[in-house]
Amino acid sequence: MLRIAVQSKGRLYDETMALLEEAGIILNKSKRVLLLAAADFPVEVLFLRDDDIPQSVANGVADVGIVGENEYIEKGQEAKLIKRLGFSKCRLSLAIPKDSSYEGLSWFEGKTIATSYPNILKNYLKVNQVNASLHVISGSVEIAPGIGLADAIFDIVSSGSTLVSNQLKEVAIVMKSEALLIANQGLSDEKKAILDELLFRFAAIETAVGKKYVLLNAPENKLDEITELLPGMKSPTVTPLATKGWVSIQSVIDEKHFWEIIGKLKSIGAEGILAIPIEKMIL
């Protein structure tokens, strides 16, 4: 059994649970308990505070964990980075009152900065040779300047709306963050095998993102032109139709190029074009 530590609430929780479900790990989420076992895969999920996950994985309370990069770097625990997951993206930034004039990091010299990430901030200030005081707050960092606790803040920024609502402006991005899969350094061979299967499923989901499975009919004499537009994973699948001189072509294309390619296919003579979303794709 592989134990996965997961954030107990918030955006990272929602996106993590969606990923696990997509990977075939079904949990009874109606039961709000600390530990839940999957129905048909040797995995159990341990729900924790996000800042407890790195230590829990490092000391073996959990075998692996899905955690924000910000927490992983801040805690500095001896847990191994296994995979970047590409969701729950945000950034850690310095922000100051919106009416303040800002011309560079020297603004922070002698100032007090409120933050929940003192280790990351201390390192950043040291590298940039800025002397500032830190006021460590566990939550609601953005209100600190407004109530006189600090001159500025260092906190997570996603859309920036929270900064705007608190009369702040972002002036420096210190690091970017996303969800990470981390693991204990001493996993047994049995647990490594389960982790490998989990990674295989994650990869199949990731590969399918932004892809469309396309089926179309086309004149056989246009086949070369069409296959140049539809390379697929190796090459398109081509099947003769009952109508002489026509073929059915199947391939995979990137979502970002979908309309451009479809327009070209139509101009060449393709008909009956069908585009289907792909849930998983195994290479």
CATH number at residue 235: 3.30.70.120
Whether residues 81 and 184 fall in one domain: yes
Rounded Cα gap, residues 8 and 89, in angstroms: 18
Residues 196 and 58 in one domain: yes
Q: How many domains does the chain have?
A: 3
Answer yes or no: do 66 and 121 share one domain.
Answer: no
- Token pair for 81: 């980075």
H or E segment at 199? helix 189-208
Boundaries of domain holding 42? 2-88+178-207
Both tokens of residue 90? 């945000």
Within this chain, do residues 155 and 200 fall inside the same structural domain, yes or no? Answer: no
pLDDT of residue 228: 82
CATH of the domain at 8: 3.40.190.10
Predicted confidence at residue 233, as pLDDT, reads 59
Dig out the tokens for 7 from the structure. 């954030």
Asked, for residue 282, whether it belongs to a domain, the answer is no
pLDDT of residue 212: 84
- Between the CA atoms of 17, 21, 24 and 25, what dihedral angle is there, to the nearest 10 degrees? 40
Asked if residues 7 and 87 have their Cβ atoms less than 8 Å apart, the reply is no
Q: Is the domain of 28 the same as that of 162?
A: no
pLDDT tens for the chain, 283 residues long, are 999 999 998 889 999 999 999 998 988 766 668 888 888 899 999 999 999 999 999 999 999 999 999 999 999 989 999 999 999 999 999 999 999 999 999 999 999 999 999 999 999 999 999 999 999 998 789 999 999 999 999 999 988 888 999 999 999 999 999 999 999 999 999 999 999 999 999 998 888 888 888 898 989 898 888 888 876 556 788 889 988 899 998 888 888 888 888 888 888 888 888 888 888 777 6
Domain final residue pick, 126, 154, 176: 176
Q: Are residues 127 and 256 in the same domain?
A: no
Residue-level pLDDT at 231: 63
Instruction: Show Cβ contacts of residue 143 under 8 Å, excluding neighbours closer than 6 positions.
Output: 149, 166
3 state SS of 258? helix
Output the pLDDT for position 30.
65
Which parts of 6-114 fold into alpha helices (H)? 11-22, 53-58, 69-75
DSSP 3-state assignment of 99?
coil
**Within this chain, do residues 158 and 186 fall inside the same structural domain, yes or no?**
no
Quote the tokens at residue 166: 């608190």
Inside any domain, residue 256 = yes
Which residue is associated with the tokens 């625990």?
A: 77
CA–CA separation, 215 and 25 (whole Å): 31
What pLDDT, on the 0 to 100 scale, is given for residue 32? 66
Tokens coding 220: 């056989």
DSSP designation for 215: E
Give residue for tokens 């702040």.
168
Distance, CA of 85 to CA of 72 (rounded, Å): 14
CA nearest to 124, candidates 149, 160, 154: 154
Residue 164 parent element (H or E): helix 161-165
Determine the pLDDT at residue 264. Answer: 87
